[in-house]
Amino acid sequence: MFEAEQKAVEIKIQEYCRTNQLPEISAQWNSIPFSGQWGISTSFFQMAAQEARQGKAVNVAQRAQELAAGVKAFLGEPEGFERLEAVKGYLNLYFSTAEYTRRVVDTVLEQGHDFGRGALKGERVMVEYSQPNTHKEFHVGHLRNVILGSCVCNLLEFAGFDVVRANYIGDIGLHVIKWLWNYLKYHNGEEPAADRVRWMSELYTEAVRRIEDEPGAEDEVRALFMRWDRRDPEIVELWKKTREWSLEGFQQIYQLLDVHFDHIYFESDVEDSGKGMVNELIARGIARDERPDGPVIVKLDEILGNQDEKYRVLVVLRSDGTSLYATKDLSLAIEKFEQFHLDRSIYVIDVRQSLYMQQIFKTLEIMGYPWAKNCYHLAYEIVNLPGNVTMSSREGTVVLLDDLMREATSRAVEIVKIKNPDLSPEKQGEIAYAVALGAIKYSMLSRDNTKIVTFDWSTALDFNGQAAPYIQYAHVRASSILRKMDGPLPKPLTPEQPLEPTEIALIDLISRLPREIQRASADLRPLYLASLAYDMARAFNDFYNQCPVLPAEPCVRASRLRLVAAARQALANTLAILGITAPQAM
RNA sequence: GCCCCUGUAGCUCAAUGGACAGAGCACCGGACUUCUAAUCCGAUGGUUGUGGGUUCGACUCCCACCAGGGGCGCCA
């Protein structure tokens, strides 16, 4: 937020270097890592090392300190800073606290829910996430994808990108045929139970078990797939009906999680165009048709002339002519770019599909699509159960989303009843829901994408410590003070009293938000914001405990009230990006 | 065999190549007549898997190795 002052100092440093024939090094600014002080710093080790390399006999650490001291003397008293120091090779510039406090607070309050928003970048990005399969379960493992994908969309949008939120639903494929086979043979005519996703899931598990146990079942399934391929009206009709059951269930889940999509693709929509593409690949000599004895394959390493095995072989069509995931993904990628004129296409898919993703992107590149290099696989690690057990419906090792939400909410309700017994049951329910969902989302977003999440009930239902409720509670406390302030928010003012260290720490963190949003969106890592939200909440709680607001002297009171309002806004904006509700009471 | 990810406090995790590697949980001891104690304060806890290298400076980058997980022709 202080780019102008930073830049001015940078120019002066460059001037100093030129007049003293010093190597010019671009300044790397950091915040000063000591609490209770607020400013920026840069170091002169690089410059000193550069001199050493040029043949000057210098001790780098000593020389860095000399340079820092020299620059400090040269800078004098630059605009916007109240104190400079040269320590251990670092040049520290301390902000004019009162002036910058006012600037940060005023900026936050003027921009409101847009505080932290980046300038429009004129770049359109599609993010594909969730990708549930119909006729199957929706468990806690799938939850990470939805939460991460949705948050990445919020993040990119807030950072200034034009985001298209896309879902890609697996409504056809071997898993669907297996389900249909079981339904036709053992459940024909049955209607789904109230919890549709659970009912669909149970039948799928049953289907898989039967296919393993029953001799001849696999042949029947294959025959059924061929009937689908011929678009046998009876099968198509059943497929439409049962597919709808899953889709209705998914809608409920997305509503529950408060996520939405701009566009939904279906695998069944790109199946035919995908097969067409496979023919094109064969005709152009990119794919080799080994049918009927083998599938249609793209020998990527051979085409690229790789000696080592890097991209291996991509199978694009089964030997019996039925489609695969790859068949459809190739044509879908093209459709996305053509339909939405994308600059970038992000796939939020778990890390196990990394090779597959690279194969798809590379095949598109070989086909000559220039945008293929703008496809990106955002890989995240899966959610396991304790003991590194993978969630699997066949093994019965799944935690269903519905069960998790119900358990978390009921636990939160118990706490709300104790903390806030006077609220209406409806209000209590609302708060409990916000807390429960927030806790679940935060536990996934506060872990780096490459880290495996181990799901266990006690951790998932722990609302203490570094978790969403802690952050939400800070927001509640700020809201509570503002509710009781009796009158309008004081007008902008420059604090006259010296600020407490906790106030400075809080303002410092708030001022970092715009930059952290850019950093998080560049790296596609919500973790940065999850951490900042927690740090802000902790700083606010410190401030809350040490600095009375409402009973303070009028001048101090006014200044602190504005700070409380700014903190509340910064917390709310960060939580909004994380997809977590910021309640008024808890 | 090839490729990818992970390895940091007892546990779960943070840490733009920078100053003293930080939080939470757990454990121990404190603080509600107060703007909401879903909070705060204090104490304990480290050879950043190992060995080299690059660098003024390495948890961070490079190489090798060790341990765990994952992927590698007709699942998605």
For A267-303, the pLDDT digits (tens) are 999 999 999 999 999 999 999 999 999 999 999 999 9
CATH 3.30.1360.70 in chain A, residue ranges: 3-95
Please give the nucleotide, over all strands, whose C1' is closest to the CA of residue A472.
B38
**Do A409 and A436 meet the contact criterion of CB atoms below 8 Å apart?**
yes
Please give the nucleotide, over all strands, whose C1' is closest to the CA of residue A42.
B18
**Do A360 and A333 meet the contact criterion of CB atoms below 8 Å apart?**
yes
Would you state the pLDDT for residue A263?
Answer: 98
Would you state the pLDDT for residue A74?
Answer: 96
Would you state the pLDDT for residue A253?
Answer: 93
The span from the CA of A278 to the CA of A452, in Å, is 36
| pLDDT at A44 exceeding the cut of 90 | yes
- pLDDT tier for residue A55 given thresholds of 50, 70 and 90: confident
CA of A258 to C1' of B37 (A): 31
Quickly tell me which residue has 């599609």 as its tokens.
Answer: A126
Please give the nucleotide, over all strands, whose C1' is closest to the CA of residue A170.
B76
Query: Higher model confidence: residue A215 or residue A392?
Result: A215
The length of chain A in residues reads 586
Would you state the pLDDT for residue A3?
Answer: 85
* Among the four given CATH numbers 3.40.50.2000, 3.40.50.720, 3.20.10.10, 3.30.1360.70, the one describing domain A3-95: 3.30.1360.70
Would you state the pLDDT for residue A194?
Answer: 84
* Model-level ipTM above the cut of 0.90: yes
- pLDDT tier for residue A368 given thresholds of 50, 70 and 90: very high
Please give the nucleotide, over all strands, whose C1' is closest to the CA of residue A534.
B23
DSSP secondary structure letters along A348-373: EEEGGGHHHHHHHHHHHHHTT-GGGG
What residue type is assigned to position A449 of the chain?
A: N
Would you state the pLDDT for residue A56?
Answer: 85
CATH 1.10.730.10 in chain A, residue ranges: 401-578
Quickly tell me which residue has 């429960």 as its tokens.
Answer: A436
CA of A449 to C1' of B65 (A): 27
* Consecutive H or E run containing A314: strand A313-317
CA of A534 to C1' of B23 (A): 10
CA of A479 to C1' of B65 (A): 56
String of b and e for A11-26 (b: at least 16 CB within 10 Å)? eebeebbeeeebeebe
| pLDDT at A35 exceeding the cut of 80 | no
Mean pLDDT of A330-345: 98
- The residue whose CA lies nearest the C1' of nucleotide B71 is A352
Please give the nucleotide, over all strands, whose C1' is closest to the CA of residue A446.
B13
- The residue whose CA lies nearest the C1' of nucleotide B75 is A174
CA-CA-CA-CA torsion for A281, A285, A288, A292, nearest 10 degrees?
Answer: 80
CA-CA-CA-CA torsion for A169, A121, A375, A522, nearest 10 degrees?
Answer: -100
| pLDDT at A68 exceeding the cut of 80 | yes
| pLDDT at A396 exceeding the cut of 80 | no
* pTM of the entire predicted model: 0.95
| pLDDT at A582 exceeding the cut of 80 | yes
CA of A72 to C1' of B52 (A): 40
CA of A499 to C1' of B11 (A): 39
Please give the nucleotide, over all strands, whose C1' is closest to the CA of residue A546.
B40
- pLDDT tier for residue A265 given thresholds of 50, 70 and 90: very high
A473-508: pLDDT as tens digits: 999 999 999 999 989 999 999 999 889 989 999 999
Using alpha carbons, select from A31, A96, A36, A35 the residue that is nearest to residue A501: A36
Query: Higher model confidence: residue A205 or residue A326?
Result: A326
Would you state the pLDDT for residue A106?
Answer: 97
Percent of chain A with pLDDT over 90: 82
Strand B: positions under 7 A of a protein C-beta atom = 1-6, 12-16, 18-20, 23-26, 35-41, 55-57, 68-76
Cα separation values, A502 from A32, A116, A539, A573, Å: 15, 22, 7, 21
Would you state the pLDDT for residue A58?
Answer: 85
The span from the CA of A520 to the CA of A155, in Å, is 8
Please give the nucleotide, over all strands, whose C1' is closest to the CA of residue A464.
B38
- What architecture is domain A401-578? Orthogonal Bundle (1.10)
Quickly tell me which residue has 């006014």 as its tokens.
Answer: A558
A213-251: pLDDT as tens digits: 899 999 999 999 999 989 999 999 999 999 999 999 999
CA of A34 to C1' of B56 (A): 23
Would you state the pLDDT for residue A280?
Answer: 97
Cα separation values, A90 from A31, A40, A42, A49, A576, Å: 12, 10, 6, 14, 37
A112-129: pLDDT as tens digits: 999 999 999 999 999 999
**Do A451 and A443 meet the contact criterion of CB atoms below 8 Å apart?**
no
CB A317: neighbour CB atoms within 10 A?
Answer: 25
Sign of the four-CA dihedral A318, A126, A438, A426: negative
CA of A64 to C1' of B59 (A): 25
- The residue whose CA lies nearest the C1' of nucleotide B1 is A309
- The residue whose CA lies nearest the C1' of nucleotide B55 is A49
Max Cα-Cα span within chain A: 89
CB A114: neighbour CB atoms within 10 A?
Answer: 11
CA of A534 to C1' of B16 (A): 20
- pLDDT tier for residue A462 given thresholds of 50, 70 and 90: confident
- pLDDT tier for residue A173 given thresholds of 50, 70 and 90: confident
Average pLDDT, chain A: 94
In chain A, helix, strand, coil percent, each to 5? Answer: 55, 15, 30
| pLDDT at A7 exceeding the cut of 80 | yes
Query: Higher model confidence: residue A442 or residue A464?
Result: A442
